[in-house]
Chain A
Amino acid sequence: MIDLIVSGLIVVGVVFTFFGTVGLLRFPDIYTRMHAVTKSSTLGIMCILLGCMTYFMAEHGVVSVKLLLGIVFLFLTAPVGAHMISRAAYRTGVPLWEHSVQDDLADDGKRGPRLTE
């Protein structure tokens, strides 16, 4: 039973990380790529760490606080990292995908000079 839970968590984590990587390769511009990579790999790595924690708790009787801390830390920091990268990209004028329909920050004067593609 515990094997099923652990392997299920790790497989879900690996699949999500893989989907994030595919998204990184397939999506057209930096904002959609950050969207794919951040969400899926955060969830994926959290699932893998949770699977490790469950394994060590069930098989060895060790509650690894370090893994728990890793989950909390990743959950806190990965979205902020993505936010900072996307904002830096927007302000340095990295262009949106040409089929994008909305740019709410366009009138704020925060957009940097548009880079040529």
Chain B
Amino acid sequence: MKTNDLILQTVTKVVLFIILVFAVFILNAGHHSPGGGFVGGLLTTSAFVLLSLAFGMETVQKAVPVNFRHVMALGLSIAFLCGIGATVLQYPFLTHAFGYVHLPLLGETELTTALIFDIGVYLTVTGATMTAILTIGEDR
């Protein structure tokens, strides 16, 4: 039977971007309000799962042409290198720093090295959950 998923697919096209933008917002808001890398990663995964529900797994792999195992490894490397960077500067492992920088478009912005660590967590969570879901989903 030929299925017609027009309503689901059209709404997915709109909702997907809301979820992805909200994931990035949560990732950046984690320093001062609830949120952070873990929730951001889970939200990104949920967006991709919604995409695969509406359009099929092949579309996800076409739209996001990365191997999610590599994403997981990249996230772990970023988090680890963030800790190593403190050791290079003669501080204990995983010492974080923050400072106020004047960026051209955003004005006075607080930048922390904890954000780099959080991006590592974000990539690891996205990679791990997507790997689990894609591995289970492919095996029919």
Q: Which A residues contact B (CB, under 8 angstroms)?
A: 69, 72-73, 76-77, 80, 83-84, 110
- B11→A76 contact, CB < 8 A: yes
Residue-wise, chain B 13-49 has the 8 Å CB interface mask toward A (1 for contact) of 0110010001000000000000000000000000000
Nearest 9 A/B pairs, CB to CB: A80-B11, A83-B7, A76-B15, A76-B11, A80-B7, A73-B18, A77-B15, A80-B8, A84-B8
* Complex CA distance for A46 and B17, rounded to whole angstroms: 21
Residues of A within 8 A of B1 (CB): 110
Residues of A within 8 A of B15 (CB): 73, 76-77
> Is chain A's interface secondary structure helix, strand, loop, or mixed overall?
helix
Residues of A within 8 A of B18 (CB): 69, 72-73
Q: What is the size, in residues, of chain B's interface with A at 8 Å between Cβ atoms?
A: 8
What's the minimum C-beta distance from B30 to chain A, rounded to whole angstroms? 14
What's the minimum C-beta distance from A78 to chain B, rounded to whole angstroms? 11
Residues of B within 8 A of A77 (CB): 11, 15
* Complex CA distance for A114 and B15, rounded to whole angstroms: 34
Residues of B within 8 A of A72 (CB): 18
* Complex CA distance for A32 and B8, rounded to whole angstroms: 21
Residues of A within 8 A of B7 (CB): 80, 83
* Complex CA distance for A76 and B15, rounded to whole angstroms: 8
Residues of A within 8 A of B11 (CB): 76-77, 80
* Complex CA distance for A73 and B8, rounded to whole angstroms: 14
Residues of A within 8 A of B22 (CB): 69
Residues of B within 8 A of A76 (CB): 11, 14-15
| Given A69-B18, A83-B7, 14 further pairs, Cβ under 8 A | A69-B22, A72-B18, A73-B15, A73-B18, A76-B11, A76-B14, A76-B15, A77-B11, A77-B15, A80-B7, A80-B8, A80-B11, A84-B8, A110-B1
* Complex CA distance for A76 and B16, rounded to whole angstroms: 12
Residues of B within 8 A of A84 (CB): 8
* Complex CA distance for A90 and B34, rounded to whole angstroms: 41
* Complex CA distance for A110 and B4, rounded to whole angstroms: 11
What's the minimum C-beta distance from B55 to chain A, rounded to whole angstroms? 14
* Complex CA distance for A89 and B29, rounded to whole angstroms: 41
What's the minimum C-beta distance from B34 to chain A, rounded to whole angstroms? 11
* Complex CA distance for A72 and B7, rounded to whole angstroms: 17
